[in-house]
């Protein structure tokens, strides 16, 4: 089995986890190809004893599985390099908080054994695609988490004329607007008041950043709808961030956002369940009253469930959506 390995280059004190990963893969006689920047960081900067491996730059690699060792930021970088290759990605979390990279260093040995025993699941996560006439943004216009439109640091709030499938929705007067996938609903979107969305929901969340009107709230739409944004700014430019990669755009730039024609495959252990992860990371406990957005396949509806206590989750699903509980329990 051949693995392509990505890692961050700024956590020297956690480099022992990378050494352990290479040791575990060597025990299974795995074939390795490693991102050149990461390999040089481990061998030249940290002087670690890493076995020789095939090196690659950018997205010039082939593998059966990609391993990202770091945090969710490293995972997003790996996902951008994988792109349409259809290679599943395993995220090992050595950072602070991991929803995508959710395998702890202590779980590495068990997880590698499970992979070689073909005992794991692969989840498909939707991706957003941005279309515009800005060449820099078009170099990689795909986002696994979110696409954000933001004002410049020194400017006043911006006006974002928003249309869905060509029909005018509203004009947001705010510091920005976050368009998030279900995967990205626990990232930037959540920090600006967006809903948490179950990963397999076929939806997109639109959440304003610091809106001028308190009546403006996030909205969840179907992910096969197209969003068009026209921005007005006193500074005549604004920022567009695609999974954190930001570029300045002119006021005349029209942005079109839709679901991409491919998905990212994420490797998960069978005992890793989305709701357990929410509780373990403290999201449910901290927020108290909490909305979980789910898509009910039989009813073809998107439903927001207010949750008072984390333990209510299973009870609500069984009572209201028994046909959905089986799907939710597999997430």
CB atoms closer than 10 angstroms to residue 234: 13
> 131: which residues sit within 8 A by CB, 6+ positions away?
138, 141, 255, 256, 257, 258
109/133 same-domain check: no
Residue 152 lies in a domain: yes
134/255 same-domain check: yes
65/133 same-domain check: no
Set 72, 175, 223, 243: catalytic member: 72
285/249 same-domain check: no
Q: In 3D, which of 286, 280, 273 has the Cα closest to residue 327?
A: 273
Last residue of a domain, one of 54, 85, 119: 119
Q: Name the pTM for this structure.
A: 0.82
Residue 276: active-site member: no
Residue 269 lies in a domain: no
> What's the structural domain count of the chain?
3
256/136 same-domain check: yes
The enclosing domain of 152 has a CATH number of 2.60.200.30
210/308 same-domain check: no
Which residue segment(s) compose the domain that 291 sits in?
A: 274-329
The enclosing domain of 32 has a CATH number of 3.40.50.10330
- Return per-residue pLDDT of the chain as tens, 331 residues: 999 999 988 777 777 789 999 999 999 999 999 999 999 999 988 888 888 899 999 999 999 999 999 989 999 999 999 999 999 999 999 877 678 888 999 999 999 999 999 999 999 999 999 999 888 888 889 999 999 999 987 778 999 999 999 999 999 999 999 999 999 998 999 999 999 898 888 999 999 999 998 888 999 999 999 999 999 999 899 999 999 899 999 999 999 999 999 999 999 998 776 666 665 655 554 444 445 555 555 555 555 555 554 444 444 444 444 444 333 333 3
């Amino acid at each position: 089995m051949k693995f392509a390995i990505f890692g961050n280059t700024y956590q020297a004190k956690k480099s022992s986890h990378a050494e352990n990963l290479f040791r575990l893969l060597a025990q299974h006689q795995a074939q390795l190809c490693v991102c050149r920047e990461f390999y040089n960081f481990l061998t030249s900067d940290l002087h670690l004893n890493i076995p020789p491996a095939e090196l690659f730059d950018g997205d010039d690699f082939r593998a059966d599985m990609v391993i990202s060792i770091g945090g969710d930021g490293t995972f997003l970088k790996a996902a951008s390099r994988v792109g349409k290759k259809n290679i599943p990605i395993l995220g090992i979390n050595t950072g602070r908080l991991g929803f995508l990279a959710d395998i702890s260093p202590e779980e590495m040995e068990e997880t590698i054994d499970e992979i070689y025993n073909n005992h794991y699941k692969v989840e498909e996560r939707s991706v957003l695609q941005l279309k515009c006439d800005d060449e820099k943004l078009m170099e990689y216009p795909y986002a696994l988490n979110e696409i954000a439109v933001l004002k410049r640091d020194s400017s006043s709030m911006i006006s974002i004329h928003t249309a869905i499938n060509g029909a005018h929705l509203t004009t947001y007067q705010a510091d920005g607007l976050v368009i998030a996938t279900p995967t990205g609903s626990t990232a930037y979107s959540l920090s600006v008041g967006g809903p948490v969305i179950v990963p397999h929901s076929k939806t997109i969340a639109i959440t304003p950043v610091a809106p001028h009107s308190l009546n403006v709230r996030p909205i969840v739409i179907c992910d096969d709808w197209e969003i068009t944004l026209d921005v007005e700014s006193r500074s005549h430019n604004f920022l567009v961030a695609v999974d954190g990669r930001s570029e300045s755009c002119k006021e005349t730039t029209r942005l079109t956002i839709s679901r991409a024609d491919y998905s990212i495959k994420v490797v998960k252990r069978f005992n890793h369940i989305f709701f357990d992860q929410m509780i373990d990371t403290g999201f449910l406990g901290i927020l108290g009253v909490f909305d979980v957005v789910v898509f009910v396949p039989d009813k073809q509806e998107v439903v927001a469930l207010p949750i008072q206590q984390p333990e209510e989750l299973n009870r609500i699903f069984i009572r209201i959506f028994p046909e959905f509980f089986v799907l939710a329990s597999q997430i």
